[in-house]
């Protein structure tokens, strides 16, 4: 969990990266890699639009590792 301002939390609501990305561009690689790791960890689906946005954003983060912690 990451502490954010109330305004930022309200702007994101329950949106995925296809419709919302952090306003701080410097944080997006971290956000995207965490999103992918969580989806992988829990075996969650990704729709086509979400996949395209994730792939596009990830292409801007060439050296960002994705670390998946196994679910217990």
At 34 the pLDDT is 95
Q: Does the pLDDT of residue 1 top 70, yes or no? A: no
Q: Write out pLDDT tens, residues 8-63.
A: 555 566 788 999 999 898 899 999 999 999 999 999 999 999 999 999 999 999 89
* Alpha-carbon span 66 to 62, nearest angstrom: 11
Average pLDDT, the chain: 86
Q: Given its phi and psi angles, is residue 68 left (phi above 0), alpha (psi -120 to 50 degrees) or beta?
A: beta
Prediction pTM value: 0.79
């Amino acid at each position: 969990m990451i502490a954010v301002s109330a305004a930022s939390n309200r702007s994101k609501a329950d949106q995925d990266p296809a419709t919302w990305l952090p306003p701080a561009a410097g944080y997006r690689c971290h956000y995207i890699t965490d999103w992918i790791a969580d989806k992988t960890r829990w075996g969650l689906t990704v729709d086509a639009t979400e996949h395209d946005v994730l792939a596009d954003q990830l292409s801007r983060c060439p050296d960002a590792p994705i670390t998946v912690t196994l679910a217990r």
